[in-house]
Structure 1
Amino acid sequence: MRKLFFAFLILATNILQVDYSYAADIQVITSGAFAEALKQLVPEYEKQSPNKVIISYGSSMGAAPDSIPSRLAKGERFDVLILAAPSLEGFIKSGDLRSGTRVDLVASVMGAVVKAGAPKPDISTMNGLKLALLNAKSVAYSASASGVYLSTELFPKMGISEQMNKTARKIYSERVASVVARGDADLGFQQVSELLPIPGVDFIGELPQEAQKTVLFSAGITSNTQNLDASKDLIVFLASTKAVDTIQKAGLKPALPAIPW
């Protein structure tokens, strides 16, 4: 009977023991639009998973040393990329990301800030936005997806490219709101989720609908990942209803897509 008891005890211990041998360190690099949401979501993910998430940051495009394209070109290894969907598609075509792993996480819109306490121009209409741009002595905008749209599409559409060439400049490797906060620009434009977390500025609103550019930000898994299952698990969490409240508080709109695997 005593032997039977100890045999049962050993069996029960083995059943109850949690196997963490599959835990992985997931290397994620994200562009700025999803950065704040990801920082808030990772602790929640790690509460429900043995996996650990290591976050790096870089812009979706451009040749800045810390941009995602530059870091991949230098041979840095990541498991998951989160960036503007058009740029992510480029990485799928180049073979850097696995085909069939794209998951759209959020939709992001553009907005503007001024230095805290400064007068807030009304940008709720196209005319108001144009006046704000023309009246600003200096304008800052992102060197990533939103800034490319401003300089190559919106400014020409509004007929103010010549004036903006004199007063507006791209910001590399830094948040636009940080430039405005220290007084190096009167007006700053970027994705709303990249503007809201920065102290020292006042958010003045989203661009009017006629000027707005909604950008999808998506996740994909790298072709050389050694943590495929863990990477999929993280993306499923980020795309789930569990992440909705945090995503919305960060100034983003959850996509809640169907998962392709």
Structure 2
Amino acid sequence: MRSANFAAEKPAGEFRVMVFGDSVLNGGNLTDHGKLATTLVADRLAAAKGRPVAVGNISAGSWGPGNWLAYAREFGFFDADVVLLLISSHDIGDNPTFAPLDPNTHPQKQPLSALAEGIGRYLPRYLPAWASGPTKVAVVDPMAQPIVTNDDQAVAQGGEDLRTFLDLARSQVPRVLVVQFPDHTEFGAGGLQPGYELVKSIAQESGVEVISVFPEMKAALDRGANPYRDNIHINDLGQAILADAFFDALAGREVTRKVDN
């Protein structure tokens, strides 16, 4: 997880949230840990509730419903009080390919040191540009881009995995939330992608609460403050907007209903 360590078994009195997502939630290497929505909301919830809070950030670049489902089946939900899923329209067709992972976008082991990672992972990427002359070198976040597809079979598989994930979460966790996140292009002439309504309908059919941050992102854009780094990923402002949405959804009611086994 991209979050602070916490005990596998939840201590008495702790409020625990597991947040699932993809590269938007993960933030990539251009987002400092302290600026992540999950970090921000953990600090605010602890202050608001007056008790310990643990927020897990379960995410990776190009993850979709199949990845979230596989993770939950292997590791469970860590006795969470709430499971929150951050999902975009394109995620519904972003299925695992089981191809070998690129170590530049999905490292498989911890580097020996920051210097070793800089030399081995980043220097080869920027050296050609430096060698060619004093031109500006773009700062690139190597977070993998999602596989955006309109293939009916891919969408059907993603939809089935999403239903299964939500049903599994509801069977083990008192409260499950879906937070829909728009791509930057969805504010243009084309409007929301078809996957947006599909995700919403699947969540509602599964009895899961659905929240959209579309209004908050649009409000930022309308006032001239761009919360996006590119078409999909967000900057520190975007993370802060997500943190506000998470806090509003989580700071209120406590759920104490018995979870069906």
TM > 0.5 fold call? no
Higher relative contact order (CA 8 A, sep 6+): 1
Report which of the two structures shows the higher radius of gyration computed on alpha carbons. Answer: 1
Q: Which structure: greater strand fraction?
A: 1
State TM-score, norm by structure 2: 0.33
